[in-house]
Amino acid sequence: MYRLALLSFHGCPVARLGEKDTGGMNVYVMQLAKEFGRRGHQVDVFTRYHDPLDPQIVELGEGARVVHLKAGPYDTTKQDLYQFIPEFLTALDSFRSEQGIDYDLIHSHYWLSGSIGMALSEDWDVPHVATFHTLAKTKLRARAGEQESEVRTNIERTVMQRADGLVVSTEMEKDDLVKLYQASRCRIKVVPAGVDLELFYPRGKDDAKQKLGIQENRVILYVGRIEPLKGIDILLKAVALLEDPADTRLVIVGGSLEDDLELERLKGLSETLGIQEKVTFTGSVPQGILPDFYSAADVFVLPSYYESFGLVALEAMACGTPVVVSRVGGLKTFIKQGETGYLIPWRCPEPFAQRLDILMANPDLKESMGKAARAQALEMSWSGVADRLLDFYSDLLAESWVSVAGA
Ligand code: UDP
């Protein structure tokens, strides 16, 4: 049995998903914590308080819990969080002493937590595994207009040099770590992310549409955070270009319906394009009802400039829905061109519109692609991800015990 400290400083696994800073990473950390706990390990996920109403400890299930620690004002934005790392470190160490737990291994998520993991690994003398989820340099390369601080890049590089192990979701990400940050290839483990197959499975299309109040015959869906890197402009423009736009609804799930400048901008764009009557912006919705959205959709679209993995596409596939996505990052690794969906190499609306037209005009194609998509998703459970990570942890712990014994 291992005692594992998972660090997710800015991303709370129990926070509402699909808002500005809550997405795939939160899901990843929560699913793994649960899987590790189910296997008899003791798992604490450390995150900061985001809300005064957060209880300090939230049980995630057998053996796994989220621990909230005070670090900076509740509403601090991600950009300003770095300065509160010392406060978090102090709170974490006091928690550990009070509880009398000696963790065996630390797994940090994102660069901010990577920096915390480095410090704790030295203090506690235990291995540190880091997963970045996104990298500053990859984001900057993906889309003009992205901004990232030099502090972030420098910390990412230092964490890559000092961590005992690095986990990425794809071979491409591994290459990025090596080429852009000079990380050492032999310390990187590629473990593709997974999907919750108990939640994401096909529901009846008509039932799902009825539950969601969708009247139209054809449904196109986007789910995810609302930010420029996701390329939602491209989707709106593609819908405006559809050959047969009658009886079609575009549903955009994610973001906040209040004070979300990007969402307002997208609403403005749909008006400019004259498609506002066809588009519904739902704001973020609890993950538990997403299967209805995926099942109601004829096609799921993810037109991102970059995706390190793209969990939402895999969730749509698990619900038997074909996907039309940008040919970027992790999406290339689990979507088979023309078999489980379409991968579009260009970041422009025309090819998206063309693929949408093809799929929506061919029910048989849509059905066979949806079936193939589901079959692919069935191979990618979180349970498999957890097994592979635990093997990696075991190797690192064995190495560290050997080096202690040899010292
Ligand atoms: N999600 C959600 N509700 C929403 C929007 C998104 O539960 O309104 C979840 C979705 O199910 C997925 C995650 O947020 O698991 C987004 O992960 P993804 O890897 O697609 O995107 P990221 O946020 O990492 O860019």
Residues 145, 85 share a domain: yes
- The range of the structural domain enclosing residue 328 comes to 205-377
- 86 in any annotated domain: yes
Instruction: Please state the domain count of the chain.
Output: 2
Main-chain phi, psi angles of 343, to 5 degrees: -105, 125
Residues 121, 93 share a domain: yes
- 334 in any annotated domain: yes
| Cα of 226 from ligand 1 centre, angstroms | 10
- 200 in any annotated domain: no
DSSP letter, residue 16: P
pLDDT of residue 404: 63
Residues 143, 33 share a domain: yes
Residue 109 near ligand 1, beta carbon < 6 Å: no
How many residues does this entry show for the chain? 407
CATH of the domain at 265: 3.40.50.2000
Average pLDDT for residues 144-154, to the nearest whole number? 89
Query: For 84-104, how does the pLDDT look when each residue is reduced to its tens digit (9 = 90+)?
Result: 999 999 999 999 999 999 999
Query: For 278-289, how does the pLDDT look when each residue is reduced to its tens digit (9 = 90+)?
Result: 999 999 999 999
Residue 287 near ligand 1, beta carbon < 6 Å: yes
Residues 240, 334 share a domain: yes
Query: For 384-397, how does the pLDDT look when each residue is reduced to its tens digit (9 = 90+)?
Result: 999 999 999 999 99
Residue 27 near ligand 1, beta carbon < 6 Å: yes
Going by C-alpha positions, the residue among 194, 219, 190 that lies closest to residue 31 is 194
Give 36's strand partners.
none
Query: For 395-404, how does the pLDDT look when each residue is reduced to its tens digit (9 = 90+)?
Result: 999 987 776 6
- 199 in any annotated domain: no
pLDDT of residue 141: 87
Residues 369, 236 share a domain: yes
Question: From CA 356, how far away is CA 341, in angstroms rounded?
Answer: 11
Mutate to test the pocket of ligand 1, among 20, 27, 135 (most ligand atoms within 8 A of CB): 27
From the alpha carbon of 313, which atom of ligand 1 is closest? 20
Token readout for 93 is 């160490």
Residues 219, 186 share a domain: no
Residues 138, 280 share a domain: no
| Cα of 101 from ligand 1 centre, angstroms | 32
Beta strands 323-326 and 299-302, pairing class: parallel
Query: For 343-373, how does the pLDDT look when each residue is reduced to its tens digit (9 = 90+)?
Result: 999 999 999 999 999 999 999 999 999 999 9
From the alpha carbon of 309, which atom of ligand 1 is closest? 19
pLDDT of residue 22: 86
Residues 390, 373 share a domain: no
| Cα of 292 from ligand 1 centre, angstroms | 15
**What burial class does residue 320 get, using C-beta atoms within 10 Å of its C-beta: 0-12 exposed, 13-18 middle, 19+ buried?**
buried
Going by C-alpha positions, the residue among 339, 333, 340 that lies closest to residue 316 is 340
Residue 305 near ligand 1, beta carbon < 6 Å: no
Give 64's strand partners.
43, 61
Q: Whose CA is nearest to atom 21 of ligand 1?
A: 24
Residue 402 CB neighbour total at 10 angstroms = 10
pTM, two decimal places? 0.95
Q: Whose CA is nearest to atom 5 of ligand 1?
A: 18
pLDDT of residue 403: 67
To 10 degrees, what angle do helices 363-378 and 311-318 make? Answer: 110
- Give the SS3 label for residue 344: strand
Residues 211, 188 share a domain: no
Instruction: Report the side by side order of strands in the sheet with 105-109.
Output: 57-61, 64-69, 42-48, 3-7, 105-109, 128-131, 165-168, 188-190
Residues 394, 341 share a domain: no
- 275 in any annotated domain: yes
Confidence check: pLDDT of 407 > 80: no
- 53 in any annotated domain: yes
- 357 in any annotated domain: yes
Residue 255 near ligand 1, beta carbon < 6 Å: no
- Of 159 and 73, the structure prediction assigns the larger pLDDT to 159
Mutate to test the pocket of ligand 1, among 12, 17, 19 (most ligand atoms within 8 A of CB): 17
| Cα of 17 from ligand 1 centre, angstroms | 6
- Cα–Cα–Cα angle for 248, 271, 291, rounded to 5 degrees: 40
pLDDT of residue 406: 60
- Of 50 and 289, the structure prediction assigns the larger pLDDT to 289
Residue 309 near ligand 1, beta carbon < 6 Å: yes
DSSP letter, residue 1: -
Residue 285 near ligand 1, beta carbon < 6 Å: yes
Residues 340, 233 share a domain: yes
Residues 86, 32 share a domain: yes
- 230 in any annotated domain: yes
- Of 180 and 149, the structure prediction assigns the larger pLDDT to 180
